[in-house]
Structure 1
Amino acid sequence: MHKYELKFISDKDLFFHVKETVEKYRFNIDLKKFNKNLIDPIKLTFDSKIYGKSLKETIELEIIRQMDKSNTNHIGYFHQNIFQYIDGEWEVPKQGFDLINKREKIYVEMKNKHNTMNSASSQKTYMKMQAMLLDDAENRCMLVEIISKKSQNIPWKVSLDGISRKHDFIRRVSIDKFYEIVTGEKEAFKSLCEVLPFVLDDVISTLEQETVHSTVFEELQKISPNLLKSLYLMSFSKYEGFNTFNI
């Protein structure tokens, strides 16, 4: 195992946290999971024909898309939970804010990208933070963005009922500046990014090679040997006429 030598987190804790995140990627997908949000066979038909892909390739791409959506959430877990190892004062509550430091009275909402929230979501989050300031004037709130337009720690401006609002204790903070706040090191986030590939190599070397196991095709073929027919029957079996569906 490499020595990562970050001043703000031990090698052991960093390895363990990355391993936990990687293991969430180890995705077993069956037909029930594949169809959890109701697959649209008409879209898959269009995708297959327009992009010149076989139906099997199109389904595989849909599986990857679903996995990617889940994995985005797992990366959110990585960013959120690592601070428990960096500073014991930070905790991840079961509900409410993403991160809390009770001693410093700091409440954090963490977003992956600067454009993640629409206007309504921004207003709702800002008002939640305003409420924290009303509860206790010493409270501090932050919207921390992993991928921000620039390095920043500024008052967060939001339009509420057509009026621009900002407060010095409600901050919009890029992830590098948040790491600096937590660790006291200006380049802490950069240092983490530099060692992350080595940590991942070490973690992956301890795990079995296969990360994805799918039974989707086997289960679809039990419905019908014709994959496209299986997709339509899976989604529309209770619709009129589909008991005699032929394609």
Structure 2
Amino acid sequence: MWPLSFISEEEFKQHVADTIEKYGEKLESYDIKKFNSNIIDPIKLIFDKMVYHSTWEEIVKNEIFRQRDKSNNNDIGYFHQKIFQYIAKCRVPANGKEGGWDVIFEDQDGIQLSMGDCVHRIYVEMKNKHNTMNAPAAGKTYIKMQNQLLQDDDCVCYLVEAIAKNSQDIKWETTVDKKKVSHKRIRRISLDKFYALVTGQEDAFYQMCMILPDVIESVVSDAYIKTPKDTVMQELEEIANKQGIPFFMAIYMLAFSGYNGFGC
């Protein structure tokens, strides 16, 4: 039996497949050219290896993972946002449309809020983590929400945080033009609370998380996604052997080949 009542198995699998597809070129294998495309910092790699007592293979794998992970964070943001297009009474506007909101939830029967108010619309700005917005970005987002409240007094605006400090639905207090501001209908809410609000199921987010690993495994298997075969270590070893230099020198040469004393 499919355990999620707020999204069908077919829709959820499709959403997972679309998210994996977003990984795109990150699934490609890394060679030394791709590895060093933004020029790595050999000094940092040297420190990491010595301080953490790691092997060169571990250091290289960790750096490749870091590079992939940096890009993948945006793709997980896609997962968190776009899933709501499959949830009843939610819509995910196209980029720049409907005020540029990430999600809009609308219920003609009314939405009962935690602080007691009842509205018919929720406008959402989504962030992956509670600390990803700097002060100017937070101020800009808050002003956007203020403007929405001025245009529509039958709504609430939420900053939905995928990774919040706590499970919460609280008034958002921030600083705009060096002044502390807050409004009861401009709120910060954790992702689990938002799932509960729009689905009517308190543990909806938990239930989604429990089924997610199996669905990802199924989708990856069905799509025959190949595990990347990175060749960076082999290429670095070849450079070291060919030039008769220690392996750490091959690491240095990625960035310092044109520096005094490093040229061949």
**Are residues 1:40 and 2:38 paired?**
no
Q: Judge which range, 101-110 or 78-87, deviates more.
A: 101-110
**Counterpart of 1:129 in structure 2: which amino acid?**
M
Q: Normalised by the size of structure 1, how large is the TM-score? A: 0.81
Please point out which of 230, 236, 244 is paired with 1:214: 230
Q: How much does 1:11 deviate?
A: 0.7
Counterparts of residues 89-108 of structure 1 (less than 5 Å): 89-95=90-96, 97=100, 99-101=102-104, 106-108=122-124
| Change in 2 beyond 3 A, CA 1:70/1:49 | same
Please point out which of 97, 115, 123 is paired with 2:139: 123
- 1:12 aligns to what? 10
**Counterpart of 1:101 in structure 2: which amino acid?**
I
Counterparts of residues 49-88 of structure 1 (less than 5 Å): 49-87=50-88
SS of alignment partner, residue 87 of structure 1: coil
Q: Which runs of 4+ in 1 moved over 6 A?
A: none
Gaps of 5+ in 2: 107-119
| 2: CA distance, partners of 1:231 / 1:149 | 39
**CA distances 1:90-147 after superposition (whole Å, capped 9, x unpaired):** 1153357461328666432212222333434322322333343445555642110122
| 1: CA distance, partners of 2:194 / 2:27 | 31
Number of residue-to-residue matches in the alignment: 242
Q: Normalised by the size of structure 2, how large is the TM-score? A: 0.76
| Change in 2 beyond 3 A, CA 1:38/1:151 | same
| Change in 2 beyond 3 A, CA 1:36/1:105 | farther
Q: How much does 1:218 deviate?
A: 4.4
Q: Judge conservation of contact 2:81–2:92 (CA < 8 Å) in 1.
A: no
| 2: CA distance, partners of 1:75 / 1:229 | 37
- 2:111 aligns to what? none
Gaps of 5+ in 1: none
SS of alignment partner, residue 75 of structure 2: helix
- 1:234 aligns to what? 254
| 1: CA distance, partners of 2:175 / 2:57 | 47
| Residue identity (%) | 46
